[in-house]
């Protein structure tokens, strides 16, 4: 299911996609990836972990940690955070329009429900 979700996000947003879920200690681990060629290094991991710890988006196109290579969105459910969606678009303009960001957020919400 997670791979299918990552694939759909990749196709619609022409992006590289990571789905990260916490382990038993709350550290994020990669659970699904689509076309990830950028380096998900310790800096990117720190951004994703910040998103998980604070429950707010960070990275590209945001005011929080904008130097990151990817955009990271929290996966919220009624029981709390269940993970992080990482997106690295080939063209940032694909996320510039508010309706595109709303669509990406809707995908994040659906993925969160599936994880829950």
Three-state SS for 20-51 is EEECCCCCEEEEEEECCCCCCCHHHHHHHHHH
Are 3 and 105 within 8 A, CB to CB?
no
pLDDT of residue 89: 87
DSSP annotation of 19: E
Residues belonging to the chain: 116
pTM over 0.95: no
pLDDT of residue 75: 98
pLDDT of residue 97: 83
pLDDT at 112 over 90: yes
Tell me how far apart the alpha carbons of residues 12 and 107 are, in angstroms, rounded to a whole number.
Answer: 10
Task: Please name the residues in contact with 85: beta carbons below 8 A apart, sequence gap of 6 or more.
Answer: 9, 17, 18, 19, 20, 72, 73, 75, 107, 108, 111
Domain ranges of the chain: 2-115
In this prediction, residues 50-79 reach a mean pLDDT of 95
> For domain 2-115, which architecture applies?
2-Layer Sandwich (3.30)
């Amino acid at each position: 299911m997670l791979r299918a979700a990552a694939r759909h996000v990749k196709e619609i947003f022409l992006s590289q996609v990571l789905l990260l879920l916490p382990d038993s200690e709350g550290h994020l681990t990669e659970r699904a990836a689509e076309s990830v060629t950028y380096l998900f290094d310790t800096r990117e991991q720190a951004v994703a972990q910040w998103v998980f710890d604070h429950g707010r988006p960070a990275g590209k196109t945001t005011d929080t940690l904008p130097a990151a290579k990817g955009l990271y969105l929290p996966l919220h459910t009624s029981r709390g955070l269940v993970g992080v969606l990482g997106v690295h678009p080939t063209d940032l303009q694909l996320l510039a329009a508010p309706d595109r960001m709303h669509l990406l957020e809707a995908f994040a919400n659906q993925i969160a429900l599936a994880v829950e």
